[in-house]
Amino acid sequence: MALTREQLAQRVAQELQDGYYVNLGIGIPTLVANYIPEGIEVMLQSENGLLGMGQFPTEAEIDADLINAGKQTVTMAKGASIFDSAQSFAMIRGGHVDLTVLGAFEVDINGNIASYMIPGKLIKGMGGAMDLVAGADNIIVTMTHASKHGVSKLLSNCTLPLTGKGCIKRVLTDLAFIEIKNGKFYLLERAPGVSVAEIISLTEGELVVEGDVPEMQL
């Protein structure tokens, strides 16, 4: 079975480590915050200028001056700090954020990512995504492995305008956990009940499968 959005978030959360500063993109990445393992401390960075993002507010706590990068009302966690946008992206570009999780339309075997524009269709902009992929060393891309029509999104070459070049090393899809190195995809784990054959058939870029590929533990 392909992973649900919640399961994708659960698997990403296993990559969190105690003391990590983490930037979570909009969509599935945001859900990761619900699965932070017990006993570890993680500080969430929101690129509009908040380090230490808390949970959503109650009705009584709502504050128009306190939102996240998805423009949702939020709260501040204990030990939070506030800063301006230049400072926020100094943290991001300067490589101070330990883990970045974001979505994508396509990735390819050279670590290129396309996530912000579908010419003629969706032209909303990159927001902070280009800075995040250029600045972070440790990035996990979360996405569906293929379109509803079975068209692979893990490609030899991205077809859409790029968000970043040669910057992606790990991709978690609803079918597989994949590493990108040496111009190839490497299959690290498969979603529970999903066969290696199915993953191969839905991966257009070169995919290396070494030995028995373990199922993800959720």
Partner 1 sequence: MAGFDKVVSSYEEAMAGLKDNMTVIAGGFGLCGIPENLIREIQRKGTKGLTLVSNNCGVDDFGLGILLPNRQIKKIIASYVGENAEFERQMMNGELEVELTPQGTLAEKMRAGGAGIPAFFTATGYGTPVAEGKEEREFDGRHYILEPAIKGDFAIVKAWKADRYGNLVFRKTARNFNPMAATAGKITVVEVEEIVEPGELDPDHIHTPGIYVNRLILGTFEKRIEQRTVRSDSE
Residue ranges binding partner 1 (CB under 8 A): 46-50, 55-60, 62-68, 70-74, 76, 82-86, 88-89, 92-93, 112, 117, 123-131, 134-135, 161-166
As measured in angstroms, the least distance from the Cβ of 116 to partner 1 is: 8
Contact 167, 144 (CB under 8 A): no
For partner 1, the closer CB: 59 or 212: 59
As measured in angstroms, the least distance from the Cβ of 143 to partner 1 is: 18
As measured in angstroms, the least distance from the Cβ of 136 to partner 1 is: 11
74 phi and psi angles, rounded to 5 deg: -140, -175
For partner 1, the closer CB: 84 or 206: 84
For partner 1, the closer CB: 7 or 68: 68
Q: In what order do the strands lie in the sheet with 113-114?
A: 113-114, 106-108, 154-155
29 phi and psi angles, rounded to 5 deg: -55, -35
Q: Residue 214, Cβ neighbours under 10 Å: how many?
A: 11
State yes or no: is 215 an active-site residue.
Answer: no
For partner 1, the closer CB: 116 or 177: 116
The secondary element (H helix, E strand) that includes residue 43 is: strand 42-46
Q: For residue 160, give both structure tokens.
A: 């859409």
As measured in angstroms, the least distance from the Cβ of 184 to partner 1 is: 19
Residue of 6, 38, 41, 47 with catalytic role: 47
- State the burial class of residue 157 (Cβ atoms within 10 Å of its Cβ: 0-12, 13-18, 19+): exposed
Classify residue 157 by its DSSP letter: S
Contact 218, 192 (CB under 8 A): yes
Residues belonging to the active site: 47
